[in-house]
Amino acid sequence: MSESMMKVFLDTNVFIEYFERRELFETVSDIFDAIEDGRIEAVISSGSLYTITYLLTIGLKRMNIHRPEQTEKLRSALNGVLDLATVVDISHTNMSVAINDKAFSDIEDSFQYHCALQNKCTHLITINLKDYKKVDSNSIEILSPMEFVNQAF
């Protein structure tokens, strides 16, 4: 990563927005295009990959897609995620910090935040800004996909 390149942490909900073609699909697509073009480095937590796998499996079942086709579609989608973002971990110590961080009522969001901090991300992109409203924004910039696109491009 070059000195000036942004390192963004993508919250799980950014991928769900994309896969389910929700309201911010086009904006998220713009971010993914910038990642593919090498203008941005992106990371996700290993926990995000587990959650994405679970949610995509439920979605495929809802569409009446079963194994082995389900497994192939899931592998394709997850390989796409891995092509976009590097999976990063969070240490045992930072997990403990995250569990006990009073700035969060949703501990899963705290895991994401502390994982992003540990991995020295410049930005955390999330659909749910309200979940991060009590954090120290001097450490990392928390933006919605639209705010990020407006600021970065």
List, for residues 103-124, the tens digit of each pLDDT value: 999 999 999 999 999 999 999 9
CATH topology of domain 6-152: Rossmann fold (3.40.50)
What ranges do the domains of the chain cover? 6-152
List, for residues 26-37, the tens digit of each pLDDT value: 999 999 999 999
The DSSP symbol for 96 reads H
**45 pairs with which residues across the strands?**
88
* Six token digits for residue 8: 């963004």
Q: What pTM did the predictor assign?
A: 0.93
Beta strands across the sheet bearing 86-88: 86-88, 40-45, 6-10, 123-125, 141-143
